[in-house]
């Protein structure tokens, strides 16, 4: 059985204990516009990739997931992500509703 790495939160540097209920953020979700948290999984938490995105066991490889210890640190991760996303994705409307005039006054429709 392999020895697990002593994980630290990427936002506050807290060490992971045995009974902590941590989360992971997928940093390779395929697009900068996706924010995805998943429940902690020991095997996935240790996955690393090279600079080219190839799987590796090299300890110098980049983690595939950020390690997040709490709701507070998850909020920090979301804020950091939202600050990076400055424009709507191509093909998506910036506003989900369209304002139209009706006999009863303006209305929003999808």
> Would you state the pLDDT for residue 30?
53
**Strand-pair category, 65-68 with 105-109:** unpaired
Reply yes or no on whether the pLDDT at 1 is more than 50.
no
> Would you state the pLDDT for residue 75?
94
Query: Could you tell me which of 89, 74, 73 has the C-alpha nearest to residue 30?
Result: 89
Q: Classify residue 16: in a domain, yes or no.
A: no
Mean pLDDT of 81-89: 71
> Residues 63-84, buried b or exposed e (16+ Cβ, 10 A)?
bbbbbbbbeebbebbeeebeee
Question: Looking at the 3D structure of the chain, how many domains does it have?
Answer: 1
Q: What is the pLDDT of residues 9-68, one digit of tens each?
A: 999 999 998 777 899 998 876 566 788 899 999 888 888 888 777 888 888 888 888 999
Q: Classify residue 96: in a domain, yes or no.
A: yes
Q: Classify residue 17: in a domain, yes or no.
A: no
The residue range of the domain holding 46 is 23-109
Phi then psi for residue 90, to 5 deg, are -60, 140
Flag whether the pTM goes above 0.75: no
Q: Classify residue 13: in a domain, yes or no.
A: no
């Amino acid at each position: 059985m392999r020895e697990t790495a002593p994980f630290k939160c990427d936002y506050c540097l807290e060490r992971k204990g045995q009974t902590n209920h941590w989360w992971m953020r997928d940093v390779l979700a395929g697009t900068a516009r996706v924010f995805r948290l998943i429940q902690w999984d020991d095997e996935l938490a240790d996955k690393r990739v090279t600079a080219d995105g190839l799987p590796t066991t090299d300890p110098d490889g980049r983690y595939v997931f950020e390690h997040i210890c709490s709701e507070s640190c998850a909020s920090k991760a979301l804020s950091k992500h939202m600050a990076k996303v400055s424009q709507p994705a191509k093909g998506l409307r910036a506003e989900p509703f369209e304002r139209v005039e009706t006999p009863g006054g303006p209305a929003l429709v999808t």
